[in-house]
Amino acid sequence: MLRVIGNSSAESIRRVSRLSNGAPVLIKGDVRDTAILDQVFDDNAIDAVIHLAGVKAVGESVKNPQKYYDINVSGSVCLFGAMQRHGVSNVVFSSSATVYGVPETSPLTEEMPTKPHNPYGQTKLMVEHILRDMTAANLGWRALLLRYFNPVGAHSSGEIGEDPHGIPDNLFPFIGMVATKRKPLLDVFGADYNTPDGTCIRDYIHVVDLARGHVKALDYLLSDRATDNSAKIVNLGTDQGSSVFQVIKAWEAACGFEIPFQVTNRRAGDVPAYYADSRRAKALLGWQAEHDLAQMCVDHWRWQTKNPDGYGK
């Protein structure tokens, strides 16, 4: 039996049950554990899989690449093998805009070159390739490869949101810690980039829009619009870039007080600016982002204030 190393909390599933019509079934296991996977497919009538199981810390992937190839790539191979054995051939895969590497221009369309510059990004691209090869092999597979930009925010109820272990690497959860006084100030990693205010620009997308993108993806895969041999790549972003300073301002508007920060050195590996072109998501899936940066901050702040200790692990 493999060790389960997930970051998630069973409490989040209990809260999803309260917010939704039906309680999700939780089976705890490791995506590399083929015995558990076979059991899940044996015990349930499954039409499609949304594959989100993976590790995603860029810095950690540089220090411990083997962990990333093992969980993200081997884990995906185990999952696809179990699907194949049980005749399940529809999959939505959680990929990332990180596969574009250091893009020269934005907005980014799905045709633009992929050249990930860290092991995490490599693993996402490798799984994309596996799915493209599997669909091309004419085995009846259909896949949607969703390239997420920067997911942030929380459910508007304030009941479910991001609860990272330890010190968060990412901007929104770090600002959340500063806003709740668990950190004295935010380090802004560089204000000397070639951008309008000198700070890096990203395409932040509300997690609820991201979740809706998955529902649309499933609808598409299970409809007659999808054909065999297709592995469609789809960007999920807002097509709007926001700088770190703009994010700080939006947070201040959401929480009603100043977020203390200091400008420090650039963070190694940061890309100056990128944002999505999501026209394909609209054309293929009928999806587009509905929440703006202000709403992302309001919802993240509500989650943070209602749950200062996250899920209370």
Q: Which residues 86-125 are close enough to bind ligand UFG by CB under 6 A?
A: 96-98
Specify the 3-state DSSP secondary structure of 93: strand
State yes or no: is 275 an active-site residue. no
Task: Note whether 170 binds ligand UFG by CB under 6 A.
Answer: yes
Mark the segment that binds ligand UFG (CB under 6 A) among 7-15, 59-67, 165-173, 296-304: 165-173
Nearest to 270 by CA among 176, 186, 169, 173: 169
The alpha-helical segments, DSSP class H, found in 202-276 are 207-221, 244-255
Mark the segment that binds ligand UFG (CB under 6 A) among 32-40, 71-79, 129-137, 184-192: 184-192
Q: Could you identify the residue written with the tokens 């920060």?
A: 261
Q: Residue type at 49? A: V
Among 60, 169, 219, 277, indicate the residue that binds ligand UFG (CB under 6 A).
Answer: 169
Task: Note whether 244 binds ligand UFG by CB under 6 A.
Answer: yes
Task: Note whether 231 binds ligand UFG by CB under 6 A.
Answer: no
For the chain, the farthest-separated pair of C-alpha atoms sits apart, in whole angstroms, at 57
Q: 120, 148, 193, 220: which is the annotated catalytic residue?
A: 120
Among 32, 202, 212, 291, indicate the residue that binds ligand UFG (CB under 6 A).
Answer: 202
Residue 269 sits at the vertex; the CA angle it makes with 170 and 267, to the nearest 5 degrees, is: 60
Beta strand segments in 131-247, E = 142-148, 150-152, 186-189, 201-202, 204-206, 230-236, 242-243
Task: Note whether 292 binds ligand UFG by CB under 6 A.
Answer: no
Among 41, 93, 149, 245, indicate the residue that binds ligand UFG (CB under 6 A).
Answer: 149
Task: Note whether 62 binds ligand UFG by CB under 6 A.
Answer: no
Contact 232, 153 (CB under 8 A): no
Q: Which residues bind ligand UFG (CB under 6 A)?
A: 56, 58, 96-98, 149-150, 169-171, 174, 186-189, 200, 202, 244, 267, 270
The catalytic site residues sit at 120
